[in-house]
């Protein structure tokens, strides 16, 4: 394990801040926080567990801000939280028993499809549309699927949730972002519980990054509340593209 020198602590805090800021707006904070943890010498399994620990602080902060800003009604999230928790628990339990190789090659392709849909559908998510699926069925399908994926692998979870909310629930991007953070928080907590049971969470580095996460997520979510859907769309495309590039790089190079 690395020694927590002052430069390392500063790197962890700054990385947490940037990850929290980015994640609260468009998802994808893991493309910043996980490499930061690995770069300071934390072994991969401990980096995964510690990453869930610190990111839970940021996703909770953003979720609360969105609730207070009126973008989310908690009574409408019950089924989503339940099915996402089940999916994330299953994914986390299976992570050490199933190969991730297929996902490493498949996810960049799926994210590229998400990116192209958003890029060429310029009005998508600019305003609320008609709901195309019943909420309970929506959360049953995507809570289990995306929750499982977040517990098992993770990168791009927020992007998949946001697009699903926009395309099927008819949400504008601002509302979709707010609901996405509550689903992210649910899967983060469930994954964290099982990483902690397995002893794969480093508390001190996690708390240092969590401090940055709290600050970044607070500022990012406040920015979303004050901005229009066009700003969120641009940020979403940027983060999705960065996630695709990172996944391709780590899979093939």
| Number of domains the chain is built from | 1
Q: What is the pTM of this model?
A: 0.87
Residue 106 has pLDDT above 80, yes or no: no
For residue 72, report the phi and psi dihedrals to the nearest 5 degrees: -135, 140
Cα angle vertex 117, ends 216, 140, to 5°? Answer: 75
Which segments of the chain does DSSP mark as H helices, in order?
Answer: 6-26, 30-39, 44-68, 78-94, 101-120, 135-152, 157-168, 173-197, 203-226, 229-252
> Is 225 a member of any domain?
yes
For residue 95, the model assigns a pLDDT of: 67
Cα-trace Rg, the chain:
17
Residue span of the structural domain in which 228 resides: 6-252
Q: What per-residue confidence (pLDDT) applies to 219? A: 96
User: Across residues 92-115, what is the average pLDDT?
Assistant: 73
In a domain, 25, yes or no: yes
Say if 1 falls within a structural domain. Answer: no
Region 136-151: mean pLDDT is 94
CA distances from 73 to 114, 159, 175, 221 (A): 26, 21, 11, 16
Q: How far apart are CA 103 and CA 179, in angstroms?
A: 25
Q: Kindly report, residue by residue over 71-86, the tens digit of the pLDDT.
A: 999 999 999 999 999 9
Given pLDDT bands bounded at 50, 70 and 90, which one contains residue 247? confident
Here the tokens at position 30 are 């893991």
Could you tell me if residue 99 is left (phi over 0), alpha (psi between -120 and 50 degrees) or otherwise beta? Answer: beta
For 157-179, what is each residue's pLDDT tens digit? 888 999 999 999 999 999 999 99
Cα 160 from Cα 115, distance rounded (Å): 10
The total of other beta-carbon atoms located within 10 Å of residue 122's CB is 10
Q: List the one residue out of 191, 195, 186 whose CA is nearest residue 139.
A: 186
């Amino acid at each position: 394990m690395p020694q927590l020198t002052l430069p390392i602590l500063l790197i962890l805090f700054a990385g947490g801040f940037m990850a929290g800021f980015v994640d609260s707006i468009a998802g994808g904070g893991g493309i910043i926080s996980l490499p930061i943890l690995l770069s300071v010498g934390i072994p991969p399994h401990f980096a995964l567990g510690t990453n869930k620990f610190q990111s839970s602080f940021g996703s909770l902060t953003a979720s609360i801000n969105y609730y207070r800003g009126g973008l989310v009604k908690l009574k409408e999230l019950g089924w989503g939280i339940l099915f996402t928790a089940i999916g994330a628990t299953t994914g986390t339990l299976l992570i050490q028993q199933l190969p991730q190789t297929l996902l490493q090659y498949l996810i960049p392709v799926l994210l590229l499809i998400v990116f192209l849909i958003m890029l060429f559908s310029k009005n998508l998510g600019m305003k609320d549309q008609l709901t195309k699926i019943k909420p309970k069925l929506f959360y049953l399908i995507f809570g289990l699927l995306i929750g499982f994926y977040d517990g098992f692998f993770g990168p791009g979870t927020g992007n998949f949730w946001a697009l699903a909310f926009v395309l099927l629930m008819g949400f504008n991007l601002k509302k979709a972002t707010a609901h996405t953070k509550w689903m992210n928080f649910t899967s983060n907590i469930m994954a964290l519980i099982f990483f902690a049971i397995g002893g794969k969470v480093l508390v001190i580095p996690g708390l240092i990054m969590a401090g940055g996460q709290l600050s970044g997520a607070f500022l990012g979510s406040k920015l979303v509340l004050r901005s229009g859907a066009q700003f969120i769309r641009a940020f979403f495309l940027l983060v999705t593209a960065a996630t695709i590039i990172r996944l391709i790089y780590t899979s093939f190079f």
